Amino acid sequence: MKTMIKLSFVMAAYAVVACVALAFVYIATAPKIAAAAQEELNASLRVVFSDASTFEDVTADGVGSGAGQIAIDRAYLAKKDGTTVGMVIQATGPTYKTSTVLVAVGMDRRIIGIKLLANSDTPGLGTKTAEPGFAGQFASKSVDDAFAVKADVQAISGATISSRGVAAIVRVAGRAAGNYLAAKAGGAVAPEGAASGGSDDGSTDADSGASEDDASTDAESGASEEAN
Amino acid sequence: MNKYFKLFTNGLLKENPLLVIMIGLCSSLAVTTNIWNGIGMGLAMTFVLLMSEIMISGFRKLIPNSIRIPVFIIIIAAFTTIVDLVMKAYTPALSKAMGVFIPLIVVNCIIMGRVESFSYKRTVPESILDALGMGLGYTWVLCVISIIREFLGAGSFFGMVILPEQYRVGFFSQSPGGFFVFGMLIAIAFAVNKAIEGRGGAK
């Protein structure tokens, strides 16, 4: 019994010393780590919003969760010298398989740019939505546009479904950003009669039409490094 | 040969943790796809090994035998966390490339093995030399594997592309390539050790 208590105290003493040492290191490195994480985020978001200098996470601040099968993952206010200049939303939705898109929207409810982050569609067909020829056409469109393929969005031939899916994600994310900016940051308000949320989003990918080959071909390739 | 010098050179080749004792392999195979990862992992590992051996051999009379393993783990984990935090703060890209393998240094068998079998019984100076030898032995093997894998798999040397795409062998960037290179190095180390032994015997 006596040895047990003695051993416990010895053990506790080592643990306390280790914890105190770690606390000091943590306090010393925490601001650096936060700055590095913020810088990484800024760099990744500046790809779509080159004008902004910093980004503030407002995901939990009533941006909405998306519409239909399209989910809003994260939302950031883009700031330049302390004033809000727009918003970046990361949304994921069904395309041929699924895509995750960053959508940058300015204060005038116009899209600044989009970037495909993850795209599990057919390589060489559906993945072409990430190329400037397709992704670039969204810039300077108003978020209240219809984003209808073959009308105001030029589809990729052979990948109509992917094109539609990405356009739908951009529409949902763009409107969410426009509405958030109008409500909270003094952005331009949606014109009268504009569609508000895109309640028809789920249907865009339900169309038939096998314009792409089997989705099973795009299973993740390249095994990751051994984990043990 | 000086006794202390021998302790140091032991880890480099004769008792190299990776090539001869063959412990701590998981981290060494996983991160060695480019040279910076190899150097970073090797130095992180050497630091944790060195500090843990110093602490444990310094306090070895104050660590009761029956709870020595938990105490070792507390000490090793503390130093590993320090390395992890420092790398996250100052080299975020490297820390990202290593991912989970930096925290996993805690359970790396090289450290556990050296601490248990060496520094718990030896003096501080001996432990320092053993840790440096083992750490550098680990690091140089990692660097050699990384250089070979980076050159053949990604066609580059220290990040500079020198091999055009069509001559690269993607196999070497993947896990089997790691095993292959590692196996070759074991064979070479075995032959070299044998040659050294043979020469020593002839004298």
The answer as to whether A169 is a domain residue is: yes
CA pair distance A116, A131, nearest whole angstrom: 9
Quote the CA–CA distance of B74 and A13 in Å, as a whole number. Answer: 11
Same domain, A104 and A127: yes
Chain B residue nearest residue A35, CA to CA: B89
Chain B CA closest to residue A33? B89
Q: Give me the DSSP letters along A47-112.
A: TT-TT-SEEEE-TTTT---EETTEEEEEEEEEEETTEEEEEEEEEEEESSSEEEEEEEEETTSBEE
CA distance A191 to chain B (A): 45
- What is the domain extent for residue B70? 10-198
A186 and A216, same domain (yes or no): yes
Q: Do A29 and B70 touch (CB under 8 A)?
A: no
Is there a contact between A225 and B33 if contact means CB atoms under 8 Å apart? yes
A33 at interface of B, judged by CB pairs closer than 8 A: yes
> How high is the pLDDT of residue A192?
57
- Domain of residue A35 covers 1-46
| Per-residue b or e along B31-58, where b marks 16 or more CB atoms closer than 10 Å to that residue's CB | bbbbbbbbbbbbbbbbbbbbbbbbbbbe
How many domains, chain B?
Answer: 1
Last residue in a domain, options A46, A65, A80: A46
The answer to whether the beta carbons of residues A48 and A103 sit under 8 Å apart is: yes
pTM for the whole structure: 0.70
Which residue among A6, A26, A226 places its CB closest to the CB of B85? A26
Contacts of B115 (CB under 8 A, 6+ apart): B52, B53, B56, B72, B76
With respect to residue B5, please indicate whether it lies within any of the assigned structural domains.
no
The torsion defined by the Cα of A135, A141, A145 and A151, in degrees rounded to 10, comes to -60
Verify that A32 and A67 share a domain, yes or no.
no
List chain B residues with CB under 8 Å of A25: 81-82, 85-86
Cβ atoms < 10 Å from Cβ of A27: 9
In order along its 228 residues, chain A shows pLDDT tens digits of 888 899 999 999 999 999 999 999 999 999 998 888 888 878 878 888 888 888 888 887 777 777 778 888 888 888 888 788 888 888 898 888 888 888 888 888 888 888 888 788 887 788 888 888 888 888 888 888 888 887 788 888 888 888 888 899 998 888 888 888 888 777 777 765 544 444 444 444 444 343 444 333 333 333 333 333
CB B118 within 8 A of CB B134: no
A227 within some domain = no
Tell me if chain B has a CB within 8 Å of the CB of A34: no
Q: Which residues of chain B have pLDDT under 70?
A: 1, 200-203
* CA distance to partner chain B, nearest, from residue A58 (Å): 24
ipTM above 0.85, yes or no: no
